[in-house]
Amino acid sequence: MSARSTSQPLAIAISTDMSHPAQSTNISLHHLRSAVAAADCGSFRQAAEFLSVQHSVLSRSISQFEHLVGVALFDRSTGGVVPTRAGRTILQMSRMILEQLDTLVATGRSSGRGEAGHLSVGFCTSISAGNLRATLAEFRKRAPMVALTTAEQSRTRLMDSVRIGTTDVAVVPGGRTLAGQKSLPVWSERILVVLPKDHPLLTRNVIYWTDLLNETVLLSQRDPGSDIKELLVSKLVANERRPKIERHDVSRGIIKSLVSLGLGISLVLEADVGANFTGVVYREIQDGSGPSRMGFNAYWRKDNENPALMRFLDLLAERYPSPPSTAEG
């Protein structure tokens, strides 16, 4: 800890009379710094030069300190100064106070820059691969002191948690900005069809939405299953024959297991491909204009002034500077 560290005076109440605890004296940081510098240098004059103050100012500061604590801190001689037995104890405590203060100031500055603190991120998609996974990894690299927590919930619950302030930011597909919130378009993800490894559609170079007619499509009741169902229906709205849609109250991983058993096919976002499942194959699904995609947005409260959130939003804006296309095909 450097004796040159500068801070506003800190008032420390030290009782000098145990029979009258209300009688206290104020010890300022310049008292502590002067004494620590003198102990480090072994000389009042050298300590004064080190702190860039006059010799008389430093000597008076230490004398005041000794008067306030009621004990001599140094044995003085023409050869310099040496801490007394009592002085060594006081000086040790002084060093601890100064080090803790420096830590406090450094922590405060880091938190103000978003380098420390806490950030809660909610989502309703997979982080086994894709943009959200990459963004969280980059944020961890840039702000390793920020305590990062995540929550996977339905979009409705995530938006509620953002509204009440328990989640800093929610990254979800689609959605709309509610009162008191702000949003940022981030990325879009391709939609993939999940097929059993022996499914006839695997022989085709390109799979279109119309190829799903007469299929049984298994979807999770959990988000983003609802968005995918709406997209599926909208793509085939003009067809009299539509695939049979089965909704299951299970995770996306269980849906893939059901697909591997030959109970149907499914649709997922490309972030799901990072989780390996035997017996299934992913294929991109297209319409006449190319791959189908689903757009994502980040949502947060307008009045959330968490510096870590601001740092995270800056990262999103840097990585995804242009609003992605939210067209599903």
Residues 31-83 pLDDT 10s = 999 999 999 999 999 999 998 999 999 999 999 999 999 899 999 998 899 99
Which of residues 182 and 205 earns the better pLDDT score? 182
Model confidence band, residue 20 (pLDDT cutoffs 50, 70, 90): very low
Residue 283: pLDDT over 90:
yes
What is the enclosing helix (H) or strand (E) of 40? helix 29-41
What was the pLDDT predicted at 181? 92
What was the pLDDT predicted at 36? 92
The structure's pTM equals 0.62
What was the pLDDT predicted at 253? 87
Residue 7: pLDDT over 60:
no
What was the pLDDT predicted at 25? 58
What was the pLDDT predicted at 46? 93
Please, what sign has the CA dihedral across residues 149, 153, 159, 161? negative
pLDDT tens profile 230-252: 888 888 766 666 788 899 988 88
What was the pLDDT predicted at 316? 94
